[in-house]
Amino acid sequence: MKKIIFLLVMSLSAVTLLFAYDGYVDITNNTGYTIYGIYVSHSDNETWGDNMLVDEVLEDGGTYRVYLRAQPSEIFDILVEDEDGDTYSFYQVNVDEQDIVVTLDDLDTDENDSDDIPKITLSGPGGDFDGYIDVINDTGYTMYYLYIKQKSKNWGPDLLGDYVLEDGGTFRVNLKNFPGSIFDVRLEDEEGDSYSLFKIDATTDDVYLTLENLDQ
């Protein structure tokens, strides 16, 4: 996962040469809680950067606009933190095509809480489909990487981050704003072996990963 640290300020000339995208994203709070932290980082970055709210807070029902200047592209990761310290994460958000509405369904689950399923939210390029895929590991091995894609040649970012999916465990990927419900899923275990599953329908199917799914 990305770490929240302060970034060094780059020189204006270097930024101008390297980055070109200007835009914004509106973040609406529908959690029932007050939001104290908003972090917006380009998906290529390894850190979250500064709290965009600074000394402000975002009350329930309110909207906050984050302006984005001199960025490599319109694809960003977004992290929101509420008054209780709970976090809500959104990855691969195309801010040119969608804004963010934060609800309790987006709450990041504590991976140490055995009563809840650890999860992450993956935002699509825009569309009417919202759903989720549960990935259940029944291979006998620990999974270190998880990728999900739709109509793309590239697998995109690892969705597990610092979390590992132990044998017998379940990990949920919430899917928002996608044009359809069919996805491809790939995992990689502790020994570097990969498991690929194609055309998973998120409206009806979960991923029950076994050794039969091992890529040859």
Listed in sequence order, the residues at least 6 apart from 10 whose beta carbon sits closer than 8 Å to its beta carbon are: none
64 membership: H or E segment, kind and range:
strand 63-71
The full 3-state SS of 13-36, as one line of letters, equals HHHHHHCCEEEEEEEEECCCCCEE
Q: Is the same domain home to 140 and 159? A: yes
Q: How many domains does the chain have?
A: 2
From 61, 93, 108, the end of a domain falls on 108
66 membership: H or E segment, kind and range:
strand 63-71
The full 3-state SS of 119-162, as one line of letters, equals EEEEECCCCCEEEEEEEEECCCCCEEEEEEECCCCCCCCCCCCC
What's the helix, strand, coil split of the chain in %, to 5?
Answer: 5, 45, 50
From 45, 80, 108, the end of a domain falls on 108
Q: Is the same domain home to 153 and 93? A: no
For residue 74, what is the DSSP state?
A: S
From 108, 124, 155, the end of a domain falls on 108
Q: Is the same domain home to 216 and 146? A: yes
What pLDDT does 161 receive? 86
For the entire predicted model, the pTM comes to 0.57
Q: Is the same domain home to 170 and 75? A: no
Cα–Cα dist 118/144, whole Å: 14
Sheet bearing 182-189, strands edge to edge: 143-149, 182-189, 194-201
Q: Is the same domain home to 81 and 178? A: no
Q: Is the same domain home to 77 and 135? A: no
What is the span of the domain harbouring residue 213? 112-216
**CATH no. for residue 133?**
2.60.40
Q: Is the same domain home to 79 and 119? A: no
Listed in sequence order, the residues at least 6 apart from 40 whose beta carbon sits closer than 8 Å to its beta carbon are: 25, 49, 52, 66, 68, 76, 77, 78, 79
Q: Is the same domain home to 126 and 208? A: yes
Q: Is the same domain home to 116 and 215? A: yes
What is the residue-level pLDDT of the chain in tens, covering all 216 positions?
Answer: 554 544 434 444 444 445 578 999 999 999 999 999 999 999 888 788 889 998 899 999 999 999 999 899 999 999 999 988 888 989 889 998 889 999 988 888 654 444 468 888 888 888 888 889 999 999 999 999 999 999 888 888 899 988 999 999 999 998 888 999 999 999 999 999 999 999 999 988 899 999 999 998
Cα–Cα dist 52/25, whole Å: 12
**CATH no. for residue 88?**
2.60.40.2890
Q: Is the same domain home to 7 and 90? A: yes
Cα–Cα dist 95/69, whole Å: 12
Q: Is the same domain home to 213 and 121? A: yes
What pLDDT does 11 receive? 45
Q: Is the same domain home to 100 and 65? A: yes
